[in-house]
Structure 1
Amino acid sequence: MERLTERDEEDGAPQPVPPLLEVRDLTLRFGGVSALRGVGFEVARGELFAVIGPNGAGKTSILNCLNGVYRPQRGTITLSGQRLTGRSPAAIAAMGVARTFQNLGLFEQLTVIENLMLGRHHLMRTGMLSGMVWWGRAKREEVEHRAAVEEIIELLELEPHRHTLAGLLPYGVAKRVELGRALAMAPTLLLLDEPVAGMNVEETEDMARYLVEVRRELDLAMILVEHDMRLVMDLADRVLALDFGVPVATGTPARIQRDPRVVEAYLGGAV
């Protein structure tokens, strides 16, 4: 998908804007089992792209390939023209890919601020010795990153929980901190793995509001994997539907809801 939003200065003709992320022919196997087969899609800058499908469709496997946890047997993944396939998760994070997880991965004995500061770790250049002394560059760097974390705390309305241990947080707030830690990495692409899993209706609505706010304030591209179809259809620009690792359809939420192949994949019968 190429958006025609830029114009040539000489002739005024629209110029194609390359997508932020390009995935081509992604194939992932575990022994004789194929988790993904020929998956391909593009994500534009600032777009919210959703991936849906029944349990076992391969949704989380896509995220694991994107952030380097899995290495596909075939296919390519490029971010801003740079190849991601074959790189380590740490290298991919440094290139601007951040992720939240379906199961909380917070450090329960650390405070909210400390958990968020961990998201800034790959951006810090101070060595261990100077960090222990906490003087000069080390002090300036921590002050700078603490200021960035405070902006995230304000954006996600985490002020009352700033110094609370993560292990003592209500579930909905903890999921918000997980989102905040990913945002602290200053990503260009945010991977959201079931951000409202296990939430009640009120918590789900709150998370949806925060995702809208994050997108508006930071203009981030996001890939959302989620079972809550109401959330997906309300927030996504485009949707990819998978069934047993195979792409079924890609399009706008309205088109996906009407596609008989998608209905069949979810309901398990001919339409």
Structure 2
Amino acid sequence: MERVTEPPAPNPLLEVRDLTLRFGGVTALDGVGFAVRHGELFAVIGPNGAGKTSIFNCLNGVYRPQQGTITLDGRSLVGRAPADIAAMGVARTFQNLGLFGHLTLVENLMLGRHHLMRTGFFAGMFWWGRAKREEITHRAAVEEIIELLELEPYRRMPAGLLPYGVAKRAELGRALAMEPRLLLLDEPVAGMNLEETEDTARYLLEVRRELGLAMILVEHDMSLVMDLADRVLALDFGVAIATGEPSEIQHDPQVIEAYLGGAA
């Protein structure tokens, strides 16, 4: 398997170099490197077990790699707690829904604003002064996200009662409520039907157009990846085997071999 290394990008938002992650004798990531530019939609693809989610877990501080560097605008992310990385502007959605089922959609989105709130315990408990002003400000920000993602009919509904496609959209909304600079999308259309997938693609394009966010997309739906991504990184057994524009990746012999399990 031939390993590829992406040349340095000028002034990237995110830069990953020589990322290596091991669990005992198993190497999940082996010298992976890539860069994400400001406003870019960068996709990571690969068969099951290729290391896609491991990259996300390193980026948001869940895993600490044994080797390599991860920098966001020149600031290292390695060794920082997930909460600190979130405060630096990295937000994430998950493969499995992580909403609080007994809370309404609005309340779930408000949780995404938590790290931006500065009110103390007693002011928040009595909801006066700064606490009241701050809640009004953050609720206004949440309402903008609800409008952007067309979630108005569900705003007062408990998250546990939301249709699956709407719940996935709500999870995207909670990540956007964090006001990230880099958004990590972990299989955002997993389990969706064709109509829900097309809707999600439309919302992602709208989010990108309105907010100008850089995004990293991990997804098995290749048609979605090829339609949305500016560039694609292909992994196989924790090794980067190709990086390039979608049209280049589609015809790369190593990528074809990794997905089809035989020589291209």
The residue number in structure 2 matching 1:257 is: 250
TM-score (norm 1): 0.94
Deviation at 1:128, TM superposition (A): 1.2
For 2:234 and 2:255, how far apart are their aligned partners in 1? 7
The residue number in structure 1 matching 2:156 is: 163
SS in 1 for 2:28: strand
For 2:195 and 2:162, how far apart are their aligned partners in 1? 16
For 1:101 and 1:68, how far apart are their aligned partners in 2? 14
Note the residue ranges of structure 2 that are not aligned, 5 or more in a row. 1-6
1:123 corresponds, among 93, 104, 116, to 116
Identical aligned pairs, as a percentage?
81
For 1:219 and 1:265, how far apart are their aligned partners in 2? 33
Give the 5 Å matches for 1:94-113. 94-113=87-106
Specify the code of the residue in structure 2 equivalent to 1:90. A
Which structure carries more relative contact order (alpha carbon 8 Å, separation 6+)?
Answer: 2
Question: Between Structure 1 and Structure 2, how many residues are aligned?
Answer: 258
1:213 corresponds, among 175, 191, 206, to 206
For 2:58 and 2:161, how far apart are their aligned partners in 1? 32
The residue number in structure 1 matching 2:185 is: 192
Deviation at 1:163, TM superposition (A): 0.2
SS in 1 for 2:157: coil
For 1:129 and 1:35, how far apart are their aligned partners in 2? 46
1:175 corresponds, among 168, 171, 180, to 168
Specify the code of the residue in structure 1 equivalent to 2:18. D
Specify the code of the residue in structure 2 equivalent to 1:138. A
Q: Residues 222-270 of structure 1: CA distance to partner in whole angstroms, max 9, x if unpaired?
A: 0000000000000000000000000000000000001000000000111
Deviation at 1:2, TM superposition (A): 6.8
2:263 corresponds, among 246, 253, 270, to 270
The residue number in structure 1 matching 2:13 is: 20
For 1:159 and 1:216, how far apart are their aligned partners in 2? 20
The residue number in structure 2 matching 1:52 is: 45
Note the residue ranges of structure 1 that are not aligned, 5 or more in a row. 4-16
The 4+ residue runs of structure 1 with deviation greater than 4 A are none
Q: CA RMSD in A?
A: 0.8
